[in-house]
Amino acid sequence: MSLSITDYEPVIGPGPLMHLRRLGEMLKDRSVVHLNSTRVGGGVAEILENFVPLMRELGIDARWEVITGTEDFFKATKLIHNSLQGAEQDLSPTMKEVFMETNRENAQRLAGLLEEADFVVIHDPQPAPLLSMIPQRRGKWIWRCHIDVSRPNRSVWNFIKGLVGRYHASVFSLVDFAQPLPHPQYIIPPGIDPLSYKNRDLSDQELNRVYEEFNLDPTRPIITQISRYDRFKDPVGVIRAYRMAKAYHENLQLVLAGGDATDDPEGALVLRETLEAAGDDPDIHVLSLPSDAHLTINALQRISHVILQKSTREGFGLTVSEGLWKRKPVIGGDTGGIRLQVIDYHTGFRVRSPEGAALRIRQLLQDPRMMRSMGEAGHSHVRDHFLITRQLRNLMTTLACLQM
């Protein structure tokens, strides 16, 4: 879908649009390379897919590159990811070697581009060693951390800190995630694209197709969690919450929809655990969707009564803003970036257990007026704080500051 920056004016108004254009003039023709570890699946890919074309439209020479690696590399990076979010796992010397060696190979492949770029934005820890492997670099390097590093495993964090401490700046999604690092740190929460396939308005026909495709009953309530199959997203906890709520709402249907990210080797295992927990309940729909199923996810969110994001750790949780944008109350784990989006009793409820989630599901299903008013409040909250245009303005301002 090819969008123009002016298409956003009806949503954000003329002022913010003019601001973006001014920033575009300040950064005109600067080359910006975004680099991460997967083209599909997960929030970073979701952001970059929409972000990079908008930067280009504003006159910036932006591009998106992806590092490649073997299964062993992604096992190592998944362990780093988990332990930075607090899991008690250590990186073995062999894993560290694979991690560094794969980055060296990528550095060789990407050297020309990375040496010349005015700005290099490295997303998350997977490509973090690249800076030390590009000695001839001329631009400013920024480490953009999307995960919750507020309570990391110390030894893994010290290793990553040694790599990212040499960047010119880092960007975190929340103040709580900022770390003692020897450079400026900026706080930029992500945002969703209101005009993308994932979030644009849908016709009744598009919604009806999804009821049919997944055998969902439009006359009965639906609760939904959209997430990669990852233990931090707690899909099994969602099933427990659904079961407790179902004792009071026997018509209840649950949708758990996720897919693969090429940099997440644990997905298949967690999907199996989820299917086992679901058992033979015909009202639990555990879906494994292709990575480009944006319209399907959009429709699933829209036909739901309540959206869940029962994570136990969450860097931001784009799925929360996606649900709120569609005027759905969100029941979210009381953690990380979910706290920015779910304002307790206003845009949804924050919970710390399956029991808590079950209680809030029941409360909402019994009170359609509360569902509606929270949905409206959530939509306004996202419009004011969590759209991609605000995120773009923040990042462009950061780049403009760094080039001075």
Q: Which residues bind ligand UDP (CB under 6 A)?
A: 42-43, 46, 198, 226-228, 257-259, 289, 297, 316-319, 322
Q: Which is nearer to ligand UDP, 156 or 300 (CB)?
A: 300
CA neighbor of 46 nearest in space, from 56, 38, 54, 55: 38
Q: Which is nearer to ligand UDP, 98 or 255 (CB)?
A: 255
CA neighbor of 189 nearest in space, from 320, 308, 3: 320
The least CB distance from residue 258 to ligand UDP, in Å, is 4
Task: Quote the distance between the C-alpha of residue 165 and its chain's center.
Answer: 24
Q: Which is nearer to ligand UDP, 24 or 259 (CB)?
A: 259
Q: Give the residue nearest to ligand UDP (CB).
A: 43
Reduced to 3 states (helix: H, G, I; strand: E, B; else coil), residue 350 is strand
Query: What type of residue sits at position 74?
Result: F
The least CB distance from residue 19 to ligand UDP, in Å, is 25
Q: What b/e sequence results for 376-387 when a residue is b if at least 16 CB atoms lie within 10 Å of its CB, and e otherwise?
A: ebbbebbeeebb
The least CB distance from residue 85 to ligand UDP, in Å, is 10
CA neighbor of 355 nearest in space, from 310, 292, 296: 310
The least CB distance from residue 29 to ligand UDP, in Å, is 30
Q: Which is nearer to ligand UDP, 127 or 317 (CB)?
A: 317
Give DSSP secondary structure letters for 72-92. HHHHHHHHHHHHHTT------
The least CB distance from residue 15 to ligand UDP, in Å, is 27
Q: Which is nearer to ligand UDP, 98 or 257 (CB)?
A: 257
DSSP letter, residue 22: H
Residues 6+ apart with CB under 8 A from 285: 214, 215, 216, 253, 254, 255, 256, 257
The least CB distance from residue 23 to ligand UDP, in Å, is 25
Q: Which is nearer to ligand UDP, 122 or 257 (CB)?
A: 257
The least CB distance from residue 316 to ligand UDP, in Å, is 5
Cβ–Cβ contacts within 10 Å for residue 17, how many? 17
